[in-house]
Structure 1
C-alpha cells in the first residue's frame, strides 16, 4: 500500500480537478455519426473546462468533444477492396474506354478518412471484333494513351511464349489542342503533361503492333521532318502534331512524357 502522504496528495489532486463535478461523464456508449447536436452530455471537455460536450463526428472540427472522445470513439478510416480486373473496351475496332471498380469493405466513422474513388477509366482499343476477327483499321492519326496502360498488356501468348517486346519512337511535340489541359476526368489527367516543344516517347507493343511490325501512325515510313498527327484516347478533342526524331529499342523519357500506341 502507498504512503499516507501520497494517498492524501492524490485525493487533493482529484478534488482540485473535479470540484463538485464527476469525471466519469464522457462518450462511453454515446458515439454518434455526423454532426448531431443531440449527441451531448455534461462533463469535462478536451479544453479542460466543464460543461456541455459532444460525442459526434463533428466535435473534433468544432473543438467541443468530451475528454474521452478519441478513446471511446476511435476513428475508423474507409477500407476498400483491391481493384477488379479491367473490363473489355466499350467498343471494338475503335478507340474507346475500359473500366475497373472496387467496393467499400468498411465505411468511415468518427472522423475517419473518407472513401476514395471506386471507379477508374482508361482509354483502350481492341484489335479484334466480337467474333474474334482482327479489325481492319484505316490509316489515320496515331492513337496514344498513358504508359500505365501498357503495364496491363500481356507479355506472353496463349502458349506461354514471349511476345515481341516492340520498340519506342521519339517525337518532338509540335502542337496540341487546349482540350488536353482543361480535361479533368480522372482517366485523362495524363494529358496535362502533353506540352509543345517537349520530346515524348511512344511505345509500340503488342497487340497494337501490326503483322508488319509497326503501329498505326508511328511514322516509321515518313520523312524525318514530316508533320504527323496524333490523338489522345479517352478525349478525342485532345490531339495535335509531332515530328519523328528516331526509333529506339526502349523508351527513356520521364514517365509523364512516355505513352503507348493504342
Structure 2
C-alpha cells in the first residue's frame, strides 16, 4: 500500500512538472515572428478551438492557425513616422520642375500592424532665379499651373514682414487636355485628374508669379474667343487649352477645380 502511494505521488509530481513546463513554454509567449515563419510554432490551443500545432508568425492571421494567445502576446505594432522635412528647392531653376520633402520611419510595423505611409512627397514648382541668384527673365509660352494646395505653402509676407500683393483670379473654360493628365499615378500628380474638358476652373495669380510676370496665359489682354495654352507643373505631358471667362478678386470654384499660376 505504501509503495502504491509513493508511486502515485511520483506520477503526480511528474504530471505537475510537465503541466508547469507546458504553461511556460506553450502558446506565443516569447514567440512573435515577422512574415510567414513555419518554425515559429507551438503546441497548444488554436484560435479555431482545436488543440495541436499553432503558429505565432504574422501570417497566422491569414492562415487562421494562430495560437489562442497570439493577439495578447504579439500585439499589433503600427508603423510610426517622424515629421516632414522642409521642402527642397526646385530640381531645376527657371523652368517647371519638382520639389521634394521626406520623413523617416521611427518604428517599423509588426504583428500585422498598419504599414508605413508615403515617406516622400513631391510637388510641382518653379523658381525665378538661377543657381547664381540671377533673375530668370520673363516667361513665354504656355501658362504653368499647379494645385492650389501647393500654392498655399507660399509665403504671404516679404522678408520685412510686409504683406505681399493679394493678386487675383481668372476663370477659364477648359477646352482640351491631353490623356497624360489622368494616366499618371504619382502622388504629386493626383490633382491633375480633376482637369476635365468642358468644366470651369479658377486659376489664382499670386506672388511670386505675379511680380515675375509669370501669369502668362491669364487672358488679361485676350478676348473670350482667344484659345490659350496651359501646362501642368510636375507632368510636362499634361497640357491643353482654355478660354477666359472672367477675372475675379478671389477664386470661387470647387476645391478640386482651383489651381494657381507658377
TM-score (norm. length: structure 1): 0.89
Could you tell me which residue of structure 1 aligns to residue 101 of structure 2? 100
Could you tell me which residue of structure 2 aligns to residue 161 of structure 1? 162
Please identify, of 217-226 and 58-67, the stretch whose mean Cα deviation from structure 2 is larger.
217-226
In structure 1, stretches of 5+ residues that fail to align are: 1-17
Could you tell me which residue of structure 2 aligns to residue 131 of structure 1? 132
Could you tell me which residue of structure 2 aligns to residue 29 of structure 1? 30
Distance 1:222 1:90, change over 3 A: same
**TM alignment of 1:172-251, pairs within 5 A:** 172-210=173-211, 215-251=215-251
Please identify, of 133-142 and 183-192, the stretch whose mean Cα deviation from structure 2 is larger.
133-142
Contact 1:217 1:228 in 2 (8 A): yes
Give the secondary-structure state (helix, strand or coil) at the position aligned to 2:202.
strand
CA drift at 1:197 = 0.3
Could you tell me which residue of structure 1 aligns to residue 14 of structure 2? none
Q: Distance in 1 between matches of 2:102 and 2:226?
A: 42
Give the secondary-structure state (helix, strand or coil) at the position aligned to 2:35.
coil
Q: Distance in 2 between matches of 1:157 and 1:116?
A: 34
Tell me the C-alpha RMSD between the 2 structures: 1.7
Larger Rg: 2
CA drift at 1:24 = 7.3
CA drift at 1:132 = 2.1
Give the secondary-structure state (helix, strand or coil) at the position aligned to 1:43.
strand
CA drift at 1:230 = 0.2
Give the secondary-structure state (helix, strand or coil) at the position aligned to 1:105.
strand
Could you tell me which residue of structure 2 aligns to residue 80 of structure 1? 81
Deviations along 1:30-72, whole A, 9 cap, x unmatched?
A: 1111110000010011111111100011111111100110000
Q: Distance in 1 between matches of 2:25 and 2:45?
A: 9
Q: Distance in 2 between matches of 1:202 and 1:186?
A: 21
Could you tell me which residue of structure 2 aligns to residue 5 of structure 1? none
Distance 1:49 1:211, change over 3 A: closer
Could you tell me which residue of structure 1 aligns to residue 3 of structure 2? none
Which stretches of structure 1, 4 residues or longer, exceed 4 Å deviation after superposition?
21-24
Please identify, of 99-108 and 131-140, the stretch whose mean Cα deviation from structure 2 is larger.
131-140
Q: Distance in 2 between matches of 1:40 and 1:211?
A: 67
Contact 2:128 2:212 in 1 (8 A): no
Could you tell me which residue of structure 1 aligns to residue 55 of structure 2? 54
CA drift at 1:23 = 9.7
Contact 2:138 2:212 in 1 (8 A): no
CA drift at 1:22 = 6.2
